[in-house]
Amino acid sequence: MRDPLGATWRLIRWGGALAKHDALIPREITPLLPGWARPIAGLVHLFAGREGRDGRPGQRLGRAFETLGPVAIKLGQVMATRADIFGIEFARDLGRLKDKLPPFPTEEARREIERSLGRPVESLFSNFGDPIGAASLAQAHPAWLADGRKVAVKVLRPGVERRVVQGLDAMRLAARVVHKLVPLSRRLEPQAFVETVARSMNLELDMRLEAAAASELGDIMDKTRAEGGHMSAPKVIWDGVGKRVLTLEWAPGLPMTDPAAVEQPGLDKDALADNVVRAFLTQALDYGTFHADLHEGNLFASAPAELTAVDFGIIGRLNPGERRYLAEILWGFLTRDYPRIARVHFEAGYVPPDHSVEAFAQALRAVGEPVIGKQASQVSMGRLLGQLFEITALFDMHLRPELILLQKTMVSVEGVARRLNPDHDLWAASQPVVERWVTRELGPKAQVRDGLRELLGGARALSRLVQDPPAAQTVVVEREKTPVWLAVCVIAATSLSAAALIVSLWPRMLG
């Protein structure tokens, strides 16, 4: 935390904005509070304005976050993915949180581009248009290159870095306070949660990193197209990339936020829903790198079922162990092998070892059986997520910071698929990708391959040992000599003790 006093003041401002929208201690929870806390809640409710009288708690919190700037908006977006913690209705309301602001002037954007690239705008673009979208961190402009290609130019807002640093300081202070004063929150790792948000935002503030992510994911998507992965990424125009500027080729198709996108001639909505799920899982399982912000605003659709992803500010990464964990969990649910799912949780360390594997498997069965093989319209997601949250509390499972982006993206992807097809079966769409991965990585051929790798690794280690044996070491054992003064003291103490014993026994010896 760089500025504790400033963070404290901003946190007070946050509290004021939340109270104004009746989102600090919502009136709906007042009857659930202990008697001593209700007068405090009543006092907070006096600060609620007109904004605090309309809508549900999630809607009011979303409106409050929209007034508090980019960090609060990002926090709300991440909270919207944790329906297992906050409830399905609350998360759905937060999911409608809008990251839209009035655009800053085009001339100011041109100056930012020239400062970042070190060259006039006209030297790169034959035409540079007015903004077509503005968010809290950046805004986008259409432009045309000299060769006639249409591109999208993303420019950071002037001074946004300072606002982000200040907002993150306030959020870190809030996480510390919550961790210290609310013991029940510690299982959810509030400080780790905040640091995940902070890392994500810091990456979004350097357009060079987003360009690299777009290029990397574009290569991955090109490779997956041979396996049926119908998702692509616009090419990076590297001459138009700087710390505060990113230039990409114009995405084909229509944005999925446009109602006309799903009405395009020849578009197959069912196939499109399957493709968004399978593209995400292929990226995560096969390559360990995935687009971690796959909502409708970042997806373009074109017939028959092609997807183009944009906005690469948030990229998720999974190491081999986490990829195996994800595949085993999904495969366990698909095959209804709950003991296997439970063992994976324990092997990964997600459930403390003092709990019973069998009991955890039983709890997973209670969650999985009502869902597997059923259409989305037949599943009560609120009931399902409520059960999951109860299970995580019952078995002392802590929030895993490295899996936050994975969970967030899975929720976003499922939401996109179900808006395309309300009866979409996420499990059926997942099965081909997961089955292919399990067969390749855990099947007989994989076991033989892993065994050969271990043998080869052992042979190499033995070869290195033979070629470069460890140097012989001589061990010298030195016996410490007992100090003379210590020996004299011990002898004197022993002599006095013996004399005292003889004196005490002498009368009996004479008698």
**Amino acid, single-letter form, for residue 226:** A
Calpha distance 385→393 (Å, rounded)? 12
286 is catalytic: no
Contact (Cβ atoms closer than 8 angstroms) between residue 264 and residue 301:
yes
3-state secondary structure of 165: helix
List the beta bridge partners of residue 485. none
Which three-class secondary structure string do you get for 355-399? CCHHHHHHHHHHHHCCCCCCCHHHCCHHHHHHHHHHHHHHCCCCC
> Tokens in use for 162?
């300072």
Calpha distance 405→418 (Å, rounded)? 20
Contact (Cβ atoms closer than 8 angstroms) between residue 10 and residue 170:
yes
* Pick from 50, 1, 4, 42: nearest CA to 24: 42
Place of tokens 């400062």: 115
Place of tokens 């007042």: 30
Contact (Cβ atoms closer than 8 angstroms) between residue 269 and residue 230:
no
Measured in whole angstroms, the distance separating CA 413 from the mean position of its chain's CA atoms is 14
Catalytic residue among 293, 425, 450, 468: 293
Helix axes 4-20, 57-68, angle to 10 degrees: 140
* Pick from 213, 190, 222: nearest CA to 314: 213
* Pick from 257, 27, 235, 39: nearest CA to 145: 235
Helices (H), 303-376: 320-334, 338-347, 357-368
Contact (Cβ atoms closer than 8 angstroms) between residue 261 and residue 255:
yes
Quick one: DSSP state of residue 286?
Answer: I
Quick one: DSSP state of residue 287?
Answer: I
Q: From the DSSP assignment, how many helices (H) and strands (E) are in the chain?
A: 19, 11
Instruction: State the CB neighbour count (10 A cutoff) for residue 263.
Output: 10
Contact (Cβ atoms closer than 8 angstroms) between residue 283 and residue 437:
no
Calpha distance 257→227 (Å, rounded)? 27
Calpha distance 329→281 (Å, rounded)? 13
**Which residues are the active-site residues?**
293
